[in-house]
Amino acid sequence: MSYMDSELFQPLIEAIVSGDQQAIAEASATFNAADLAEYIESARDDDEGLELLMALPLEQQAKVFGYLSLDRQHELVPRIPDQPLAALVTEMSADERADLFNFLDEDEQHRLFKSLARREREDLRRLASYEEGTAGAIMTSEYAVISSGMTVGAALTLLRRTAPDKETIYQAFVVDQDHKLIGAVSLRNLITAIPSAVVDSLMATGLISARTDTPQEEVARLISRYDLIALPIVDDNETLVGIVTYDDAMDVAEAEATEDMHKGATVGKLEAGLRNSSPFSLYRSRVHWLVILVFANIFTGAGIAYFEDTIAAHLALLFFLPLLVASAGNAGAQSATLMVRGIATGEVTAADWGRLLGKEFLVASALGLTMAAAVMLVGFIRAGVDIATVVAITMVLVVLIGSIIGMLLPFILYKVGFDPATASTPLITTIADVCGVLIYFSVATAVLGLG
């Protein structure tokens, strides 16, 4: 484990082996829920994980269970008897319960549903209905709410009483009689205000909020940009229906960055991480683009074949081929990655493209000239002044063209509504390869002739 030395778990393992519930509960009390979850996740023996989980006090048990991957939750649910399962899912936080529900097969969904009280059932039905990847799917219904017109004293009493069921009470949302969101007040402001004041007088208005269908990455971006503890989620009538808290936003941001990095190297979506994915799911996430690019590279091969006469006349040209096409691809990969990440973080917007293109033109020209200078000498020593000239001219052209393609492709994808991260390094490299081959041998044919 990265954070916990496995030796630290020794007393806990002994307690589990002894089967003494009391000893297990005591030994586990010294651990954080995230660490216990990691222990269960990586326990070689499934029974051991289950035994540990079931020996935990209910509140801790629900917390640890919530930290487990959906895969592991899914494995454990059928092995937990009805009574303890009902207690566990009732204690779980509403958003994690809905995630689990959506991951189960129909029989287990039914069993989970049955074990809930009526209010939780309705809540679950609603939360589980939102499309994956939206604010609705990651929000929780356990938010702190205050009615407009309440006094600070009454609001504090209400928050104290309902605190155990709320995801956070540090930000409480003020609603009117139709449950429309009209403001928010922080616990910090509440405890420093005069108890007889009306909450409306100290609430913040003009709140940042999102809708249930707002993409989750946009939710994470809003929370990060405005340093929020919780972002309120409203439906089409401005009615408050949930909140997303900062800790869930952090998880979303991390998952989105991982997905973008993977996409940048043509790896598709993985349900689990690298460590826990099966060989088959890894194969499936990788094979798609690899095969597409095999066929795309046939164009590069065809380009070379087209210039076979020039090559046969000047075999020395081949020496510089990898270096030139690779340089075009590398420069293109740089500009594409800068663009993809800039768009993802919200730093770069559609309005910027003209200015960025101009800047890229400048930068790429300077890069091309530098690299041309670097190969000129090698070219001269190895193959004489003619080929050195061809190589240097080609270098400037391919770096420029590779960079411009790298910059424009993510932009175009973004404008037409595709994910800009599809402009992966291997895709850019492949396009740059084709262009590189055509430019190189065209320049060579023009300068050197066919022999």
Give the DSSP letter of residue 131. P
Nearer to a second copy, 117 or 366 (CB): 366
Nearer to a second copy, 129 or 370 (CB): 370
Nearer to a second copy, 114 or 288 (CB): 288
Question: Which two three-digit tokens encode residue 436?
Answer: 């590189």
Q: Enumerate the β-bridge partners of residue 186.
A: 171
Q: Shortest approach of a second copy to residue 187 CB, angstroms?
A: 6
Q: Shortest approach of a second copy to residue 216 CB, angstroms?
A: 15
Residues 6 or more apart in contact with residue 205 via CB below 8 angstroms: 182, 183
Nearer to a second copy, 45 or 347 (CB): 347
Nearer to a second copy, 8 or 198 (CB): 8
Q: Shortest approach of a second copy to residue 284 CB, angstroms?
A: 10
Q: Shortest approach of a second copy to residue 6 CB, angstroms?
A: 9
Q: Residue 16: what residue type?
A: I
Distance CA 74, CA 4 (A): 25
Q: How far is CA 202 from the centre of its chain?
A: 36
- With left for phi above 0 and alpha for psi between -120 and 50, is residue 179 left, alpha or beta? left
Q: Shortest approach of a second copy to residue 422 CB, angstroms?
A: 15
Nearer to a second copy, 117 or 194 (CB): 194
How far is CA 16 from each of CA 30, 45, 55, 115, 283, rounded to the nearest angstrom?
Answer: 15, 12, 9, 28, 37
Q: Shortest approach of a second copy to residue 175 CB, angstroms?
A: 21
Nearer to a second copy, 312 or 446 (CB): 312
| Backbone φ and ψ of 245, nearest 5° | -95, 160
Q: Shortest approach of a second copy to residue 288 CB, angstroms?
A: 10
Distance CA 400, CA 328 (A): 8
Residues 6 or more apart in contact with residue 35 via CB below 8 angstroms: 1, 3, 4
Q: Residue 342: what residue type?
A: G
- Please state whether beta strands 168-175 and 143-147 pair in parallel, antiparallel, or not at all (unpaired): parallel
Nearer to a second copy, 128 or 316 (CB): 316
Contact (CB, 8 A) for 339 and 412: no
Q: Shortest approach of a second copy to residue 338 CB, angstroms?
A: 5
Give the number of other CB atoms < 10 A from CB of residue 206: 6
